[in-house]
Amino acid sequence: MIKPASANIIEQPVASPSSREVARPTPCPVNSHNEWDPLEEVIVGHIDDATIPTSHATVMCNMPRSAAMFYPLFSGRRYPAIMAKPAKRELEGFIQLLEGEGVQVRIPDPQPFHKKFATPKWSARGFTCACPRDSLLVVGDEIIETPMAWRSRYFETFAYRSLLREYFDAGARWSAAPKPQLDDALYNDEYEMPKKGEPFRYVITEHEPVFDAADFVRCGRDLFVTRSNVTNRAGIEWLRRHLGERYRITEIISHCPAPMHIDTTFMPLAPGRVLINPEYVRVEELPPMLRDWEVLTAPEPDPIRGRLLKISSMCGKWLNMNVLSLDERRVVCEEKQPGMIQALKDWGFEPIPCAFQHHAAFGGAFHCATLDIRRRGMLQSYFDKEARLPHEEP
């Protein structure tokens, strides 16, 4: 097992006056501008002390029906070994695969997720750090801690603090969105999942800015976002202002009745090529800036085999889209999804199958379970800057 971040901190030597005069600047260890440049370093989450999240409207509204019946019965308890052991085996296999492909893997520190904590207005237990893609957003040389809407994830980024400090000391920018209060005013107590044909509605309000990093994907100077049950308009606007004029954020309309995270809806795989979910995305509603891109329609997911996998997955059926690009050709995907494997081959990619189904009980698949720290590439624009939606501001 790879050592956690605190065991991997590299002491920086103090340079003498003469060496300072001739030394060249050390490249920043954080550099990631999109979803497809060659991957060199990545954080992979772990499930040590993973705890079934405290039952709350934000948690239950996004789960498949079978899981929504199962999880409240065990809320606040550690995940049972029957779920954790196979997931850990798959996680180890995934890490070995990445290292075999030449990617440096970093692991967050252990955290006591089972312990109860409280603010002046509410209390909860933790969850896990299985999905670093949710709590941290990398844009160029900056790592941003996100203001997540789940109370059980309030202190989740503490697992990454050793790594964040290491990257900061080596030149990366490290920032955090305003810590949300997550009081009752943020949540819609009368929320019901919209039925087909009904207007969109969300379990969170606009009381304060909240967002998960996994509701964003990066394409150089452009980021795409889906508004969801964990990301509100105020959160999107906070990030837009924070990033400033160097970047543009564009919303993708999703018809998912319970949206949460863009990477099972809209997933850029390479310059000019994007994978979409045919159930949630209508091609005619895509932003005009994508008119010159090749739109790849994800195949229907292959059914999940095994009763425990079905009732324990926290994710929807379109997890076959939750892939990780190692570069413009190599794509890590679920080995139990032959339809997606064949589709990737047909589109000219090189799929790398890996067993990872048991990780769905902890919140996601390959894209969710990782955070790109360094990809070999530079910031650039992949779109015509004049192609905007009518309601978008410059």
**CA–CA dist 33, 272 (Å, integer):** 15
Is 261 one of the annotated active-site residues of the chain?
Answer: yes
Hunting for tokens 């440096």 — which residue is that? 104
| Residue among 219, 315, 368, 372 flagged as catalytic | 368
| Residue among 33, 46, 261, 358 flagged as catalytic | 261
Is 219 one of the annotated active-site residues of the chain?
Answer: no
Q: What is the per-residue DSSP string for 141-159?
A: TEEEE---S-GGGTTGGGG
Q: What are phi and psi of 90, to 5 degrees?
A: -65, -35
Q: What are phi and psi of 187, to 5 degrees?
A: -115, 140
**CA–CA dist 207, 180 (Å, integer):** 10
Complete edge-to-edge strand list for the sheet that includes strand 142-145: 136-139, 142-145, 173-176
**CA–CA dist 281, 304 (Å, integer):** 23
Q: Where are the beta strands (DSSP E) in 216-321?
A: 216-219, 222-225, 248-251, 266-270, 273-276, 294-297
| Residue among 37, 134, 141, 212 flagged as catalytic | 212
**CA–CA dist 266, 253 (Å, integer):** 10
| Burial tier of 393 (Cβ tally within 10 Å: 0-12, 13-18, 19+) | exposed
**Amino acid present at 322:** N
Under DSSP, the state recorded for 28 is P
Is 368 one of the annotated active-site residues of the chain?
Answer: yes
Instruction: Return the SS3 of 387.
Output: coil
**CA–CA dist 20, 261 (Å, integer):** 45
**CA–CA dist 298, 283 (Å, integer):** 13
Q: Which residues are catalytic?
A: 212, 261, 368
